[in-house]
Homo-oligomer: A and B are copies of this chain.
């Protein structure tokens, strides 16, 4: 990973790549920040969407491949692309598997001492907004939404349910909807959180949906039918069942016929997601 900051004009705005020292992760973290033309042109600050990426990704994959910036620029919304884990700690085994350790932070706070730096939940929800306010003062971090893909879809949903007062809306592409019941989730939660099932449930979208007691909300989940991870790992029907039992949550579940788990799929439908979030974010103006 080239450690060089950059700023490149992209549609009406600029795609930034930044690095900053993270206290909670104990290392330098990279991130992408797309600032729409409205960031520079308008007096009022712009809303922001956090785009949380999936396993093996860095901050760059969605920045380069999702095509989200075109639509974010049209709607005057900033997009922040965090990395997917701490890097550079050289924890024994951190790079042995593609679904655990580096590139696989799962947006949780690890409690096992070996993984003490894996604090992606605090990084995204607490440290990153403060950094953004300092670095990009015309981003309104109080007018924020969440989206993500796969592991990042899990991150977006769980962060939203746990912080419904801090975010306006959530959407997800092919999210891991019930990690406590799938191999990816069991491996990650077991490694980071130990054997305590109650701790696991605090980071499980399906469990959190069961217990959600916030204001009436609508979540948007998008899923390709040709996704090879659908049946074993993603389990959207489990989330759907939980939501149907909770009158405080409506779920827009869009199955996309023939689409897989890739960025080609994301790019095909990301405009729908920006429109969904724009509706919730613009309501604040």
Residues of A29-68 whose CB lies within 8 A of B: 64-65, 67
Q: Determine whether the beta carbon of A267 is less than 8 Å from that of B65.
A: no
Residues of chain A at interface, number, CB under 8 A: 21
**How often does this chain occur in the complex, in copies?**
2
Considering the chains assembled together, what is the distance between the CA atoms of A264 and B16 in angstroms?
Answer: 11
A275 an interface residue at 8 Å Cβ cutoff? no
Which one of B64, B69, B224, B260 lies within 8 Å of A64 (CB-CB)?
Answer: B64
Knowing A64-B65, A67-B70, the reply to whether A267 touches B10 (Cβ < 8 A) is yes
Cβ A265 vs Cβ B9 within 8 A: yes
Find out whether the CB atom of A8 lies under 8 angstroms from the CB atom of B67.
no
Instruction: Judge whether A199 is part of the interface by a CB distance below 8 angstroms.
Output: no
Q: Once the chains are docked, how many angstroms separate the CA of A70 from the CA of B224?
A: 18
**A276 close to chain B: CB less than 8 A:** no
Check A169 for interface membership: any CB of B closer than 8 A. no
Assess whether A268 is in contact with B65, with CB atoms less than 8 Å apart: no
The listed residue (B8, B65, B224, B267) touching A262 by CB distance below 8 A is B8
- From A64, A264, A265, name the one whose CB has the most chain B CB atoms within 10 angstroms: A264
Q: Is A11 an interface residue, CB under 8 A from the partner? A: yes
Complex: chain B residue closest to A271, CB-CB: B70
Please report which residues of chain A, range 234-274, place their CB below 8 angstroms from some CB of chain B when the two chains form the complex: 258-260, 262-265, 267-268
Q: Compute how far the CA of A119 lies from the CA of B8 in the bound complex, rounded to whole angstroms.
A: 35
Interface residues in A1-27 (C-beta closer than 8 Å to B):
8-11, 15
Select which of B8, B15, B65, B264 is within 8 A of A8 by beta carbon: B264
On whether the beta carbons of A258 and B9 are closer than 8 Å, the reply is: yes
Closest 3 interchain pairs by CB?
Answer: A10-B264, A9-B258, A8-B264
Q: Would you mind naming 5 contact pairs between A and B with Cβ atoms under 8 Å apart?
A: A9-B226, A9-B268, A10-B267, A64-B65, A69-B264
16 new A-B contacts, CB < 8 A, other than A8-B264, A9-B264, A67-B70, are: A8-B259, A8-B260, A8-B265, A9-B224, A9-B226, A9-B260, A9-B265, A10-B264, A10-B265, A10-B267, A10-B268, A11-B267, A11-B268, A64-B64, A65-B65, A70-B267
